[in-house]
Structure 1
Amino acid sequence: MTKYEMILSVYHTHSISVTAEKYNYTQSAISQAIKSFEKELGLPLFKRTKNGMLPISNTEEIIRELRTICDAENRIADIASNLTSLKNGYIHIGTIKSIAYNWLPSMVKNFSKKYPNIHFKISMGSSSQLHDKLDQNEVDCIFVSNYLLPDNLEFYPMDTDELMLLTARNHPLADKLKVNLTDIKDENYIYSEDGFDFEAGGIFEQNDIHPTVLYQLDDDVAVQKMVSDGMGISVLPKLLLSNPPFDICIRPFTEHYKRTLGVAYLKDSELDPATEAFLEYVKEWKSNKGEQRR
């Protein structure tokens, strides 16, 4: 109980003793709270009469403001209680598209069954964009690969994802069941959101492959459309290609280049209860996903 609540109780009951008994305080503690606040104000609030403690004239506005302060403090306490008890909450997730399309819907849906009043905002972007958003505290966690992951991020691995070659159906490489990386060194290339800054670029650089880039797009679906129209080849993750919207040929590399996907969050950061609960659920989801494969 705050001193403001004590003062309001005395205002309504006109009695220090009744307030003390109601809230299990001594009369001395109630009197001291009133005197302390009167000293802060530089004026008295009450006068003792045969009818009890009555407010001094023209102090009604002060009493109204004290009531406003108490109401606000109670609302803040309720909000904090809801957040710490997971009755309410808000989680802002950043994610690459392949995970947004395939993993996140079931994760969020099942988590929401357990915590229906926790709300989500999901932002998609390239890996570098998501790293920046997390570093600037614009999101609570991000779903990305561990490739070029900044040192200030904690990463929980969830699964691997293979990089695949995309060609038109009538492309000569479509006749092969597997494609060697050197087979594409002279091909026209269409690159997507991350460009050559992440996995595909790293593989090309390691193998001294320098494809001719004709088109640069920030949309993976548009990349697939251009590939199907014979405008070039591309490399995209297998998880993104589970239900391709266009008629394209998808082939693995003989080297089977894979990346590790998972969830990342800032090291040594104090996560809010909603985010902590969601990350725990992600681990449970990953464990169940592994069980289903056995």
Structure 2
Amino acid sequence: MIDLLTAPFVEFAFMRRALAGCVALSVGAAPVGVFLTLRRMSLMSEAMSHAILPGAAVGFLWAGLSLPAMTLGGLVAGLAVAMLSGLVARSTVLREDASLAAFYLISLAGGVLLISARGSSIDLLHILFGTVLALDDDALVLLGGISTVTLIGLAVAYRPLVMECVDPLFLRSVGRASGPVHYAFLALVVLNLVGGFAALGTLLAVGLMLLPAITARFWAVDLSGLLPASVVLALMASVAGLLVSYYASLPTGPAIVLAAGALYLASMLLGPRGGLVWRLIPARHLEA
């Protein structure tokens, strides 16, 4: 049994690289997903994952399947969409979610059009769904750097982020940190989506960010438990997805996200914090 779990990683360097990339992505993206869910911004991350596509497409058209060019393009496009949607929301009658939806739909359509016009269907699939089994040294350095920056950023902004999750109006009333913290957090979201794009592609990058964070709610009740639980669940999904894709010859990115989805469904049934099975068990009368 142990050999089945360890043999692919012992025998093949590409599996070790894929595992290292997923570990880096899990450590950085999953905590960001926890704050997204607490701030009721889960669907925003889905929109942002599509918003980076035109920048990645421009990088692809400029330098081919070059990770630095596509990463830089995706980062610029994601930050631009985030800032523009916030500016439109503050300058017009539109709310931020509506302006973000408009910008991300334009970005997604433009990115697909750019890639389709100059590339092949293989190139489009590569960008949309990623190639986690083909991560090289540059990709691993990128993912490790993004994870490090994310953890440092969350540590620095931890208190205002928590305050904004609990009472954003109070944070705005006691100082001017609300705006800078909000935009810094959006930058971390975009940064992790760009990292996820390198491994899982544009359409699946958000899966490893949100699913473990949502699942953690069934295992912990506060941030001191939610943050480590989300990381552990993301790591479990990564390992399970890599093994399933190896033995069943399935696409790796979707296998990882589906493994995270399976953990969510199992936790929804069996999780000690509000799982359906536990809710069916009657509580003892006057139990403390």
Q: Indicate the TM-score class for this superposition, using the shorter chain for normalisation.
A: under 0.3
The higher relative CO (CA closer than 8 Å, separation ≥ 6) is in: 2
What TM-score, normalized by structure 2, do the two folds share? 0.21
Comparing both structures, which one devotes a greater share of its residues to helix? 2
